[in-house]
């Protein structure tokens, strides 16, 4: 087998975490809340699979990338490619080959294996925000998040062996007629999938890698149902902890992003020389065996996002943010923003990539203009591109608007001063302390700018978020 490596593995989780115990208390009257253990990562109203994937990929996006694959089972568009949105948001060159994969939670691992068996530097990215009906156990079992990996001819995790198994095994499904996932009986799923799909594939991968089961130190294996890892371990002889199980308890099942995120946690804990098993499930199974050979970019980012966040006990807010409850927001919510394809064609690259311009005098501005905004500008100039998404910045002014419509009031906005001199009026997001203070440092987060639900269209831009997030339990 040719030497192919993971150069980086990263993940991103939204700020808000629903306390499952609080949800269980709210559902106590119905006996639908379950045991209510752990937390569920909840995307904000302005987060979706695309924004979550972009945030996960940011630590790994380099100029070496020649291919980008976007994986999701909950991507917002049926007939619009999402990978090009990521190419622009990450400011990658448009010569990068890109495409989407979907259809099962396993799709991202299949894309990862394809990249490992290919050539060149590839960025495989996943994002999920799967809908579920309130009261259904999946509503609390699911979680929102993104994950990404950089595949290259050099890196810190070498592929030793792999195996695949394809099967039209229906454990859960979602369709256009039934967009909320429908799950089949757990005992049937556990017994059939473990015995006939997952365990045999893992044993085949171990055999192809020439690795005994007891040498696996960490696993990132997507369980067909919660608690299945114990049965998988018995049938394969693997006694290693499964970081995917821990992730499900702390943030929820992240769908296509789950295995990559768990792999980031596994490699973050692994020492050089440790063997790590990665396996995706859904429509079959792909199992891959890696040896950690050195440093891997992004794993610390994934670990930091898991340990930080804002715990919430507000079940009604959770229902609203997951769109399980459709509130009447009044006449101010009736305003529709229709994005024009012509405007996106002209300015979309700069908007998605947050690319401003530097004039001949060194002044940076956003958006770019033919004539610089400096007072002594004598006429048109060609501005040098400057990406603001990764620049340090601070809040100059802040306003909390409770009259303007937002699905998660209040509507925060203000003036942001970048260290390179640019000043931009923009929205704020991810409030974790009850407000935004003048002078506070902020970082840029890629988010939904507007949604036209009637036409089923959304546009994206960047928003200012606090530089640091609170630790879980703080």
For the question of whether the overall pTM of this predicted structure is more than 0.85, the answer is yes
What's the pLDDT at 70?
98
Distance (Å) of CA 17 to CA 140, 310, 317, 429: 11, 6, 11, 15
Distance (Å) of CA 41 to CA 47, 225, 247, 440: 12, 18, 10, 26
The closest alpha carbon to 360, from 349, 346, 371, 348, belongs to 371
Alpha carbon distance 217, 240 (integer Å):
5
Residues 180 and 245 in one domain: yes
238 and 232 in contact (C-beta within 8 Å)?
yes
Task: Confirm whether 339 is domain-assigned.
Answer: no
Residues 14 and 107 in one domain: yes
What's the pLDDT at 335?
77
The three-class DSSP label of residue 274 is: coil
User: Given its phi and psi angles, is residue 109 left (phi above 0), alpha (psi -120 to 50 degrees) or beta?
Assistant: alpha
Task: Confirm whether 340 is domain-assigned.
Answer: no
Alpha carbon distance 396, 338 (integer Å):
30
What's the pLDDT at 2?
59
Neighbours of 415 (CB within 10 A): 16
Residues 282 and 401 in one domain: no
Residue after which a domain boundary falls, among 274, 301, 321? 321
Task: Confirm whether 331 is domain-assigned.
Answer: no
What's the pLDDT at 234?
96
Residues 6 or more apart whose CB falls under 8 angstroms from that of 275 comprise 160, 211, 215, 216, 217, 289, 290, 291, 292
Residues 375 and 246 in one domain: no
Residues 6 or more apart whose CB falls under 8 angstroms from that of 259 comprise 105, 108, 109, 147, 220, 221, 222, 244, 278, 279, 280
Structure tokens at 387: 């990406």
318 and 407 in contact (C-beta within 8 Å)?
no
Structure tokens at 120: 């060149």
Residues 107 and 219 in one domain: yes
Task: Confirm whether 26 is domain-assigned.
Answer: yes
Work out whether the CA dihedral 421, 425, 426, 431 comes out positive or negative.
positive
Residues 6 or more apart whose CB falls under 8 angstroms from that of 455 comprise 336, 338
Q: Tell how strand 39-42 and strand 310-312 pair up.
A: unpaired
How large is the greatest C-alpha to C-alpha distance in the chain, in angstroms?
A: 76
Residues 238 and 363 in one domain: no
Residues 205 and 295 in one domain: yes
Task: Confirm whether 183 is domain-assigned.
Answer: yes
Number of domains in the chain: 2
Structure tokens at 23: 């949800």
Alpha carbon distance 326, 329 (integer Å):
9
268 and 303 in contact (C-beta within 8 Å)?
yes
Q: What is the pLDDT of residues 393-407, one digit of tens each?
A: 999 999 999 888 899
Residue positions counted in the chain: 474
What's the pLDDT at 340?
76
Task: Confirm whether 344 is domain-assigned.
Answer: no
What's the pLDDT at 474?
64
Residues 72 and 114 in one domain: yes
Residues 74 and 203 in one domain: yes
Query: Would you call 210 exposed, middle or buried from its count of C-beta atoms within 10 A (0-12, 13-18, 19+)?
Result: exposed
**At what angle are helices 258-269 and 243-250 packed, to 10 degrees?**
120
Neighbours of 191 (CB within 10 A): 14
The low-confidence residues of the chain, meaning pLDDT below 50, are: 1
Note down the domain range covering 276: 5-321
Residues 369 and 448 in one domain: yes
Angle at 424 between CA 420 and CA 425, to 5 degrees: 155
Residues 277 and 395 in one domain: no
Alpha carbon distance 58, 56 (integer Å):
6
């Amino acid at each position: 087998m040719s030497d192919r490596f993971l150069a980086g593995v990263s993940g991103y989780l939204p700020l808000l975490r629903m306390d499952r115990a609080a949800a269980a208390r709210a559902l106590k009257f119905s006996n639908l809340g379950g045991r209510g253990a752990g937390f569920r990562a909840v995307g904000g109203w302005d987060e979706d699979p695309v924004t979550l994937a972009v945030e996960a990929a940011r630590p790994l996006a380099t100029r070496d990338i020649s291919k980008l694959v976007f994986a999701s089972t909950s991507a917002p568009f049926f007939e619009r490619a999402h990978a090009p949105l990521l190419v622009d948001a990450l400011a990658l060159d448009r010569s990068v080959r890109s495409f989407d994969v979907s259809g099962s939670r396993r799709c991202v691992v299949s894309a990862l294996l394809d990249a490992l068996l290919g050539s060149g530097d590839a960025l495989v990215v996943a994002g999920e925000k799967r809908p579920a009906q309130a009261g259904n156990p999946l509503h609390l079992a699911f979680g929102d998040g993104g994950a990404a990996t950089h595949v290259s001819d050099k890196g810190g995790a070498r592929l030793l062996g792999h195996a695949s198994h394809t099967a039209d095994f229906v454990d859960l499904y979602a369709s256009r007629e039934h967009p909320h996932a429908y799950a089949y009986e757990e005992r049937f799923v556990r017994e059939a999938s473990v015995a006939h799909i997952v365990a045999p594939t893992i044993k085949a991968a171990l055999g192809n890698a020439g690795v005994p089961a007891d040498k696996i130190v960490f696993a990132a294996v997507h369980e067909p149902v919660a608690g299945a890892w114990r049965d998988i371990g018995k049938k394969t002889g693997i006694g290693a902890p499964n970081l995917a199980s821990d992730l499900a308890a702390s943030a929820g099942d992240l769908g296509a992003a789950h295995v990559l995120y768990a792999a980031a946690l596994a490699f973050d804990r692994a020492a050089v020389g440790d063997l790590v098993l990665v396996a995706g499930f859904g429509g079959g199974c792909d199992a891959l065996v890696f040896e950690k050979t050195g440093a891997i970019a992004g794993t610390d980012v994934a670990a930091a996002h898991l340990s930080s966040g804002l715990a919430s006990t507000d079940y009604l807010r959770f229902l609203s943010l997951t769109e399980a409850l459709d509130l009447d927001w009044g006449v101010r919510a009736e305003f529709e923003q229709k994005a024009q394809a012509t405007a996106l064609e002209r300015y979309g690259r700069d908007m998605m990539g947050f690319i401003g311009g530097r004039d001949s005098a060194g002044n940076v501005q956003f958006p770019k203009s033919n004539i610089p905004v400096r007072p002594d500008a004598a006429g048109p100039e060609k501005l040098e591109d400057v990406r603001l998404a990764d620049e340090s910045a601070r809040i100059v002014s802040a306003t909390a608007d409770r009259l303007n419509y937002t699905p998660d009031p209040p509507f925060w906005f203000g003036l942001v001063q970048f260290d390179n001199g640019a000043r931009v009026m923009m929205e704020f997001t991810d409030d974790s302390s009850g407000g935004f203070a003048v002078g506070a440092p902020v970082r840029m987060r890629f988010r939904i700018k507007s949604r036209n639900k009637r036409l089923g269209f959304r546009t994206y831009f960047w928003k200012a978020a606090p530089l640091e997030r609170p630790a879980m339990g703080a």
